[in-house]
A and B are shown apart, each in its own frame.
Chain A
Amino acid sequence: MADQQLRDLLSDLKGHLFDDVPWTLPKPLSECRVAIVTTAGLTVDGDTDWNPGDQSFKVLPNNHRDFTLAHYSPNFDRTGWIVDPNVVLPLDRLDEMAEAGEIGSVADVHISFMGAQVDHTLETIRLDTGPAAAKVLNDDQVDVVLLTPV
C-alpha cells in the first residue's frame, strides 16, 4: 500500500490554480485527431536520464514507438512499463480506436514532460514550455489531448 502513503503525503501540495477553467469544445470524437501528452519522462534517443527540475519536453514521433522511460523519481513502479508501454503511453489502443473509426486519427507527434516537479508552481511549463508544446500539437492539427500521469 505504498501508493496510498504517497498519495497522503502529496495530497497537500499547492499546485497553480487558474482563475477560470479553460474550455475548448471538441468536434465529435470520430472526427478528432488525438495525441497523448504524458509526464512519464520519455525520450526518443535511448537517453535514460532526465534531471530533477527539468520542465522541458520531448516530442515523441508517432512512427517511432521505441521510447525510453527516463523519469528521475524512484517513487513509482517501472515494471509495468517494461512489460507493456501501453500502460503509460497507450498508442496501440489509439491505433485500434482509429482503425475502428472511434477517433478520427492518431497524431503524428506526442509529447512527454516529466512529472514530480520540485517547483510545484510549474512556472516554466505554464509560461514557456507548455505553450510551446501546445504549438507543436496545434501545428499537427491535433484536436484532443489525452494526458497520462507519472
Chain B
Amino acid sequence: MGTLASVLEQAGLSTVALSNIRKQAETTRPPRVLHCEFPLGRPLGKPEDPSFQRSVLNAAFILLGEDSGPVLVDYPEIITDESDTPISCVIPPADTADRHLGAAEALGLLPAWRRTYERYDRTTVGKVATPEQVPDMVDLFLRVAEGEDWKTVGLPGDPTKIAADIRNFYEEASLSLTGGIPDARQAETWFVDHTQAGQIIQRARIAMKESGENRYFWYYLLPLTQHHEL
C-alpha cells in the first residue's frame, strides 16, 4: 500500500493511505498514512457503522492539510479480531444418509447460504466451485485427508482456491444462521475448529505437507494462523 501511494503521488495525485500493519508503513514511508489498528479485511473498522466510518475518513483527510511528509498518525481507537471466540452456529440437518458427514453438513448449509446471498446480493464463492458443488468438494478433500494424491482425486482446479470456496461458503452461510454481524474472524475459527469441512481441510493440509507436496498447495489451504497440527 505504501509503495502504491508513493507511485500515485509521484504522478501528481495527493494521497492518504489507511494502514493496518504499522511496521510496513514505517518501512515504505508513503506521504500520508493514518494507521488503523483494525482487523485485517476491515480497513474502515466497523461494518454497517456509517458514523464510525466517517470518523475514520475525517481523520484521514485531515492529513491532507500537512505541509510536508512523511506523515504517520495513529487512529485513536483499536479494534481487535475475535478469532479466539468463534460464533456459535447450529447447522441444520440435511436428509443425506448416503453421504459422508462432511458433505451432509455442507448440504445442510445450502439454504442458509442462499438466504445470505439473497439478502446481500454478493458472494466470494466461485473461484473454482459453485455453492452447489461445495458438498462434492468436501468429499474430494476427505480423500486427500485420507492419503490420496490431490492431483488424482478429481479436484477441478487449484486446491487452495477450492478450499477458499468451501470456507467462504460456510462463513457466508453462517451469517444467516447467527443473524448478527460477527466480529472479525469469529466465523473463520468456527469453520476451522467446529465444522466437519474445516477439520477435513486441516487434515488434508497436514497430509499434503507430510507427503512433500509443493508448499503453495498446502500452505494456503487455510489461514496461516489456523494451521494446527492434529
CA–CA, A22 to B152, complex, Å? 52
Asked if B214 lies at the interface with its beta carbon under 8 angstroms from chain A, I say: no
Asked if B153 lies at the interface with its beta carbon under 8 angstroms from chain A, I say: no
Interface stretch of the complex, out of B34-42, B94-102, B103-111? B34-42
**Chain A, 51-99, CB within 8 A of any chain B CB:** 52, 66, 68-70, 72-88, 90, 92-94, 96-97
Q: Are B40 and A6 in contact (CB under 8 A)?
A: yes
Q: What residue of chain A has the Cβ atom nearest to residue B1's Cβ? A: A149
CA–CA, A150 to B163, complex, Å? 20
Q: Which residues of A contact B181 (CB under 8 A)?
A: 79-80, 83
Q: Which residues of B contact A133 (CB under 8 A)?
A: 8
Interface range on chain B: under 10, 10 to 19, 20 to 34, or 35 or more?
Answer: 35 or more
Nearest CB of B to A124, in Å: 11
**Chain B, 1-33, CB within 8 A of any chain A CB:** 1-24, 27-31
- Can you list 21 pairs linking A and B with CB atoms under 8 Å apart? A3-B20, A7-B21, A9-B224, A13-B27, A15-B27, A18-B29, A21-B70, A22-B6, A23-B69, A24-B14, A32-B64, A39-B1, A49-B127, A75-B223, A76-B40, A76-B41, A79-B187, A83-B181, A103-B61, A137-B13, A146-B61
Interface residues of A (CB under 8 A from B): 1-7, 9-18, 21-26, 29, 32, 37-39, 46, 48-49, 52, 66, 68-70, 72-88, 90, 92-94, 96-97, 103, 113, 115, 122, 125-126, 130-131, 133-135, 137-138, 142-150
Interface residues of B (CB under 8 A from A): 1-24, 27-31, 39-48, 50, 53-54, 57, 60-61, 64, 68-70, 80-81, 83-84, 116, 120-128, 160-161, 163-164, 167-168, 171-172, 174-175, 181-182, 184-188, 216, 220-226
